[in-house]
Amino acid sequence: MKPTEPAHLVVPAPVTLADVPPLCERLRELYAAGAREVVCDVGGLVRADLAAVEAVARLRLTARRAGGHLSIRNAGPGLVALLHLAGLVE
């Protein structure tokens, strides 16, 4: 990874609430390794549900606490709608 290239994190499908802490840990590891920006690919999440919203919310919080930036990519329309309702869209 070049310093100007963002790191990548892929959220598995389906995501469960049990998947969220390990995802956040992986995100912390990316920032600790020097990433300033991480692109989080949620394209595999075809089902928009509470676990998907929880994953995005926790990942955004983890990024903020680490002083990094997190971009969400490939979110389907259902997930985008839920993220809007939850106030989690940039």
Digit-coded pLDDT (tens) for 20-77: 999 999 999 999 999 999 999 999 998 889 999 999 999 999 999 999 999 999 999 9
* Dist. CA 1–CA 20, nearest whole Å: 24
Is the model's pTM score more than 0.85? yes
Residue pair 65/30 in contact by the 8 Å Cβ criterion: no
pLDDT tens per residue, range 64-79? 999 999 999 999 999 9
Query: Quick one: tokens of 37?
Result: 């920006």
